Amino acid sequence: MPEDSIAHIDFEALKQKAISAPVVEHIYTADPSAHVFNGKIYIYPSHDIDAGDAFDDLGSHFAMEDYHVLSMETPDGKATDHGVALHVTDVPWASKQMWAPDANEKNGKYYLFFPAKDKQEVFRIGVAVSESPAGPFVPQVNPIADSFSIDPAVFKDGDGSYYMYFGGIWGGQLQRWRKGTFEASQPESPFAHLPLDNEPALCAKVAKLTDDLLEFAETPKDVMIVDENGKALLQGDNNRRFFEASWMHKYNGRYYFSYSTGDTHFICYAIGDNPYGPFTYKGVVLNPVVGWTTHHSITEYNGEWYLFYHDSSLSKGVTHLRSVKVAKLQHNTDGTIQTLDPYVQ
């Protein structure tokens, strides 16, 4: 929802209309990546802290310096905050802005995948490891080689392969890697290096991970989202094109790539036949929430599907500090997803 709309919202009325309540209220959490490990739901969110800076399109107003892990016995149960799982001061290569993370499990070990700016103010993606899904996590000394941008999402396929989807435009810097190396611009602008509106939109990257989940096993490839005619979505199609917040889930043997449209505030999805795509655009998962950003995950628990997302209703829009929420998600018989409205009309 646009910045200038926040001041006119009746937040008490909005609370009554919301389809779900914040999972925790003692801290601000956002960008939830939810997984089921050992029969319990674990949520890996970012941690919103107001930096005291003016709101901008680069995210400078968020002083996101650590990660907390939340767990729930059931989607409608009470959430437990397991405390700080990783702090930026623990990461040798990182300087600031620990944005949206993800996690996964292999052979009894748990891996936290996270973006942060390095000492040169370039976003990289790191990995930290723990014996427990709740952490604490011990980071690798260096980020993943040749990693860049933000919003890692790691999907485990049925054959035991793991794939990382990542990338975000504007403050996420994806557009600054179009030529294969980081393009600096002074002063920094989120609109520099973007394609023209009539050109194919930038999209996420995907790469299979090595067996130890610590590096890319291949050069990252472009994810392609196409329309019903098989044509790539264009940059100017900002109600459908990718902006950030990749997620992958599998339903009835098909691959569902979902993502945020960013400045138009939709969570959309596209369906493909393999982890690399192409993915055909199918529709909207979640309509806009209160707050500038939208970011999500989709997870199965006991045969039911759930959408984890965030909004800024708890903070009443102040600096867009966000809170994680969860709602049940329905797939139709044809495989499409029923669109959720975050507030009852």
Which of 235, 127, 94, 215 shows the shortest CA–CA distance to 174?
235
Rounded distance between C-alpha atoms, residue 247 and residue 286, angstroms: 14
Rounded-to-integer distance, Cα 122 and Cα 43, Å: 26
CB 267 within 8 A of CB 259: yes
d(CA 340, CA 204): 24
Three-class SS of residue 172? Answer: helix
Please say if 188 is a catalytic residue.
no
Catalytic residue among 31, 102, 151, 237: 31
Q: Per the residue annotation, which of 102, 237, 244, 311 is the catalytic one?
A: 244
| Sheet of strand 297-301: strand arrangement | 297-301, 304-311, 323-329
Integer Cα distance of 29 and 69 in angstroms: 10
Residue 216, helix vs strand vs coil = strand
Q: Verify whether residue 31 is a known catalytic residue.
A: yes
* CA angle, residues 59, 285, 272, in degrees to nearest 5: 100
243 CB-near residues (< 8 Å, 6+ apart): 168, 169, 170, 259, 260, 261, 262, 263
Q: Which two tokens stand for residue 294?
A: 């939208």
Residue 131 C-alpha from the chain's centroid: 24
What own/partner pairs with CB < 8 Å and gap ≥ 24 does 17-20 have?
A: 17/343, 17/344, 17/345, 18/311, 18/313, 18/325, 18/342, 18/343, 18/344, 19/327, 19/340, 19/341, 19/342, 19/343, 19/344, 20/325, 20/326, 20/327, 20/342
Separation CA 246–CA 151 (nearest Å): 7
Check residue 313 and report its DSSP letter: T
Catalogue the active-site residues: 31, 244
